[in-house]
Amino acid sequence: MDCKKLRNWFRKNAAELPWRLSDLDAPRDPYAVWISETMLQQTQVSTVRDYFTRWMKRFPDIETLAATTEEEVFKYWQGLGYYSRARNILKTAKIVAEGATQKFPQARKELEALPGIGAYTAGAILSLAFHQQEAILDGNLVRIFSRLYAIGILPVDSKEAADTYWDYAREVADSPKAYMHNEALMELGRTVCKVKNPECTSCPLRDTCRAHLENRTAEFPPSKKHIQKDWHGTVLIIESSDHKILAIHGGQKFFKNQFTLPHFESPRSATAGLPAQAESYINTDHVAVVENIGIFKHNITIHKIECDVLHIKLSSKAPVRNKLAKTAHEIQWIERSDATEFFANSFCLKALALLKP
């Protein structure tokens, strides 16, 4: 790989991003690197821009973040999905803030021991913030290496493939300019060496790219079928006579560790009347009205979701308790007017949007 050409290209083409310094050679704040790289996992740069800016205004440093609550973190994460990332961010912030130095470790092994920090994020922190000669490997780099060296190993996520790609990543990082090479490759993969319709004529590495030279770019990386699972369910919006909505924590299919609306898998067109599963959450003798208010669609990881939404109105006020007697799950009754602020996921918000005024 011609790293000099890569660096020259990056200096001319580096996009202005809120987490990127104008001086591309300057070490960065490890906290900002950590937050931006975590947000960028499974999320487009165009989406992350505004989220990162809002986050840094509210949580400018790790001490501020460590002092907040999970609910507050979810509020600023809402819409990014993969909420385990947000939960791990808060866990790691507390560990670092309560540590002896109150600073990020500068060794890969110690970083990877922190919740939510894997090999890629650890490498990004060490490389971009501390300018260590540490490798990184994400989907962009896998795609570039696969095309550059015509690597056709299947499956792409096998140990053999991972070892091969990491070897190339370490080769790129074996330089005092590792931080520049790593970031330049990420930028190249995002803007030029794209999954579809790569702009090979603009690529600084085209003269040595085997896939380009052999006119086989579309063959790399070798395709891997993504198995999509259809899931149909029912979401319950249970409203008390004093206009409070039931939220449940734990035991739910997609949101086991955060508050959500009760939901369960169900056959299509099987929601006429009160479903038996509702008995797990309420006393059915207190049900006044059951109404199917619509259907929404949603995607979570490999799950293609379609849900019927039932609005269950009770004749009784919200009980004063924080556990369900039948399941021991934690519950909370939320003022209906506060529900859209309380639930920190678009799954619940789509269901609530079907409520009639």
Whole-angstrom distance, CA of residue 335 vs CA of residue 16:
42
**Count of CB atoms situated within 10 Å of the CB of 141:** 24
Tell me the two tokens of residue 211: 């896939």
Residue whose structure tokens are 């971009």: 128
Contact 54, 108 (CB under 8 A): no
Active site residue 265: no
**Count of CB atoms situated within 10 Å of the CB of 187:** 21
Backbone angles phi, psi at 112, to 5 degrees: -70, -15
DSSP string, 310-357: EEEEESSPPPS-SB-TTT--EEEEEEGGGHHHH--SHHHHHHHTTS--
DSSP string, 137-206: --HHHHHHHHHHTT---SSTTSHHHHHHHHHHHHHHHSSTTHHHHHHHHHHHHHHTS-SSS--GGG-TTG
Active-site option among 37, 134, 187, 239: 37
The radius of gyration of the chain's CA atoms, rounded to the nearest angstrom, is 24
Whole-angstrom distance, CA of residue 281 vs CA of residue 323:
10
Residues that are catalytic: 37
